[in-house]
Chain A
Amino acid sequence: GQNIDQPTEMTATEGAIVQINCTYQTSGFNGLFWYQQHAGEAPTFLSYNVLDGLEEKGRFSSFLSRSKGYSYLLLKELQMKDSASYLCAVRNDNAGNMLTFGGGTRLMVKP
């Protein structure tokens, strides 16, 4: 089976930096994804890591350590519109490349 853990909620200030952590346990790891989801809307793809290291994409960066089963999403220069849920998802090639999501971290950005 798979187990994906993220904090349930986080709060940060506009203009600041926030790091959202994700730990996972899975066999057949084949990539980790981060998605953003505003309430009642579809998740939108943010980043993808399959090798160890940091992937940077504008204000968002994502890090992966496969040996530790650990990833984080880093959001810089926070804006009010970044208030959303951030979903960590792991692909498992032992299960037909099934994409399994964690429960999500609800981020609230305050002025």
Chain B
Amino acid sequence: DSGVTQTPKHLITATGQRVTLRCSPRSGDLSVYWYQQSLDQGLQFLIQYYNGEERAKGNILERFSAQQFPDLHSELNLSSLELGDSALYFCASSPTGTSEAFFGQGTRLTVV
């Protein structure tokens, strides 16, 4: 157990809908990362937050947004969902932005 908690574990929703994925980082970790992993693909970096502020942005679609709250948990919002958004979404946290990242178990999103 990495100490990073993601909810829900599984999510099935229809095209056009909006969902929110939640991540609780390890206790004391200030940095949160979000990644998308499609079937048999690598981890695609979406966005990073550090102590509530956006630190780095990857290939995140405009339909996607995220935030990190004062208690350091983070949410990833996915809207106007398309079939191609079906993937595993991982959250990771680290104490600072320079140390190794610890991953949650992921949320498997299926868009039908």
Residues of chain A having any CB pair with chain B under 8 Å: 30-31, 33, 35, 40-45, 48, 87, 89, 91, 93, 95-104
Query: A102–B90 Cα gap in the complex (Å)?
Result: 16
Chain B contacts with A in 68-111, Cβ cutoff 8 A: 88, 90, 92, 97-98, 100-106
B42 close to chain A: CB less than 8 A: yes
Q: Judging by beta carbons under 8 Å apart, are B104 and A42 in contact?
A: yes
Query: A97–B41 Cα gap in the complex (Å)?
Result: 23
Query: A47–B106 Cα gap in the complex (Å)?
Result: 21
Secondary structure of the A contact surface, majority rule: strand
CB-CB nearest in chain B for A2: B45
Chain B contacts with A in 39-65, Cβ cutoff 8 A: 41-45, 48, 50, 55-56, 58
Beyond known contacts A45-B101, A45-B102, A101-B44: 4 more, CB 8 A cutoff: A30-B98, A41-B105, A42-B105, A97-B31
Query: A31–B2 Cα gap in the complex (Å)?
Result: 21
Q: Shortest distance in angstroms between B103's beta carbon and chain A's nearest beta carbon?
A: 4
Q: Judging by beta carbons under 8 Å apart, are B42 and A33 in contact?
A: no
CB-CB nearest in chain A for B58: A98
Are A98 and B101 also in contact (CB < 8 A) when A40-B88, A42-B106 are?
Answer: no
Query: A89–B94 Cα gap in the complex (Å)?
Result: 15
Q: Which residues of B contact A101 (CB under 8 A)?
A: 35, 42-45
Q: Which residues of A contact B42 (CB under 8 A)?
A: 87, 101-104
